[in-house]
Structure 1
Amino acid sequence: MLYHSVSDLVRLANEHQIPLWKVVLLADVQERQVTVEESFETMRQMYQAMRQADQEYDGSIVSASGMAGGDGEKLHAYNASGRSLAGGYMGLVMEKAVKMGESNACMKRIVAAPTAGACGVIPAVFLSYEEYCKETENRMVEALFVSAGIGAVIAENASIAGASGGCQAEIGSASAMAAGGLAYLQGGDAECIANAAAFALKNMLGLTCDPVCGLVEVPCIKRNSAGAVNAAVSAQMAMAGIKSAIPADEVVDSMRRIGNALPAALRETSEGGLAVTESARKIAERMGKKEHIAKKTREGNENQ
């Protein structure tokens, strides 16, 4: 039951006439030499840790840099006001994604899904679905297996690290994982799940990793929210019967090639993009990194 591609996941699900999440579970059983029950419970613990992190969000805490904290609470208040155009499920997704990203920046316990920098995407999409649609925990755990399978394929054939693939490898991968899981929750079959993942990842291709001051805060936290919303949009297109012209595995391969083509300045080094803007320089000065950022700003301007 081993798989190395999204097409493998779809093929195995269809050949054995089992849901895609069970393909991933059985592969885990085979790889780690555990029982089906043990595998499922391990994933349940992951999901419960996500829920706990969401429940323990504290809007009064600010990160050491001062760049992160309190925005999740602002989104919560705006959603509660009834004025949000993205009300209901989507508003909740945006809120929870920011809250989780802020919790990471404030050194609270989160689940790397697939990385700490992208930790808000999957929890936001799934916890919001569980709450909004009154779904059972078991179904949410099944969806997490779907996400894990997609993430494993991306990690094997491309990358989930910003340092090697840019933010498309982090937020993009998380968004594809969440999209596939959401499509499953809404009744999508294996092909639908693959299309949802393909849409989500296509929408994030080329996304740079350019954290201000080298911290996973700006623009990372807000990108979690964008990635989560992208996942929901992608799942809805797939559920509508729309098919990706480019298969998921080819999208993953494209992400790998694009990541390799990105200059080092845009792969987590904070030597380009948003990290060398005037505002970033001022933030760094406030944090006592004046000379470092000034040098990077000059180099960035010379290369433009």
Structure 2
Amino acid sequence: MIYHSIQDLLNLAKEYQIPLWEVVCRADMEERQVTKEQSFETMHRMYEAMKQADSAYDKDLKSASGLAGGDGEKLHCYNAAGKNIAGEYIGLVMEKAVKMGESNACMKRIVAAPTAGACGVIPAVFLAYQEYFRAEEQKMVEAMYLTAGIGAVIAENASIAGASGGCQAEIGSASAMAAAGLAYLQGGDDEQIVNAMAFALKNMLGLTCDPVCGLVEVPCIKRNSAGAVNAVTSAQMALAGICSAIAPDEVIDTMRRIGNALPACLKETSEGGLATTPSAQKVREKMDGEQ
């Protein structure tokens, strides 16, 4: 069972009368020559690794640069104080996304989803969903297959690397993957699932990769939170029956074309964007002075 596009996924699901996640599962079974149980166990381990990374967050850890650490705890305290203005679920999503991004910066074990720089988006949306809505583990793993399938299509037809496509390829891809999975968790049909993906990626088009001092910390960590919230809003629009005017595969192709058009200074080189601001230069000078 081979797919190369979002439309392929839809066509295969219709042809075999199976859910989208099972198309991805069967493709994995064929590619790796494993049983359904073995495939499912592998995906379940990845989801469990996300859970472990979330539970292992250490509020006292700081990255070597000093730029990252402790902000996830600030969000937790803000939410716990009843000051949340975004709703309990969204507040939890934001908190978990920042915590995961900080854990990555502090060299903790995370799941690249699809990259280390975007590691907080999918776990934040999914773990918060299971915690808040008491979803079954089986359903969560099925949603993980959906994210994997969407990510594979994006990787094949565009990019998931900031160095080649800008941050739209990292946070944008992760947000699109999470939006599709969330739409599935909420009972969305196949069209709603892929529309959620299209909305999320469209909202992130043109996002530059401009890390301060070349570190996956500023602005990367906070972008995980933005990408996670974008996934939720995109899924909700799709579930409400709103359809993307641009076909999902065309959105992916557009991301590829925009990534190719971005200058090198905005693709992980730290030679443009936020990385060249006066504030960033001060951070660079401070770090150089400490070496």
1:161-240 pair list within 5 angstroms: 161-240=161-240
1:42 and 1:57 map into 2 onto residues whose CA distance is: 23
The one-letter code of the counterpart of 1:214 is: G
The one-letter code of the counterpart of 1:163 is: A
- In the other structure, the counterpart of 1:294 is none
Is the 1:162–1:170 Cα contact (8 Å) retained in structure 2? Answer: yes
Aligned residue pairs total: 290
Compute the displacement of 1:15 (Å): 1.6
Compute the displacement of 1:289 (Å): 6.9
Provide Cα deviations, 1:216-248, integer angstroms capped at 9, x if missing partner: 000000000000000000000000000000011
SS in 1 for 2:114: coil
1:63-142 pair list within 5 angstroms: 63-142=63-142
Compute the displacement of 1:87 (Å): 2.5
| Residue 251 of structure 2 corresponds to residue 258 of structure 1 | no
Moved over 3 A (4+): none
1:285 and 1:169 map into 2 onto residues whose CA distance is: 30
- In the other structure, the counterpart of 1:44 is 44
- In the other structure, the counterpart of 1:35 is 35
Tell me the TM-score normalised to structure 2 length. 0.99
Compute the displacement of 1:201 (Å): 0.1
Provide Cα deviations, 1:183-241, integer angstroms capped at 9, x if missing partner: 00000111111100000000000000000000000000000000000000000000000
Provide Cα deviations, 1:59-105, integer angstroms capped at 9, x if missing partner: 11000000000000000000011111013100000000000000000
- In the other structure, the counterpart of 1:20 is 20
1:276 and 1:32 map into 2 onto residues whose CA distance is: 45
Tell me the TM-score normalised to structure 1 length. 0.95
Provide Cα deviations, 1:231-285, integer angstroms capped at 9, x if missing partner: 0000000000000000110000000000000000000000000000000000001
Is the 1:211–1:217 Cα contact (8 Å) retained in structure 2? Answer: yes
1:144-163 pair list within 5 angstroms: 144-163=144-163
1:3 and 1:128 map into 2 onto residues whose CA distance is: 30
1:5 and 1:166 map into 2 onto residues whose CA distance is: 21
Relative to structure 2, which stretch is displaced further, 13-22 or 219-228?
13-22
Compute the displacement of 1:177 (Å): 0.1
For structure 1, the 5+ residue unaligned runs are 291-304
Taking a change above 3 Å as real, the CA distance of residues 289 and 10 of structure 1, as seen in their structure-2 partners, is: farther
1:179 and 1:110 map into 2 onto residues whose CA distance is: 20
The one-letter code of the counterpart of 2:198 is: A
For structure 2, the 5+ residue unaligned runs are none
CA RMSD in angstroms comes to: 0.9
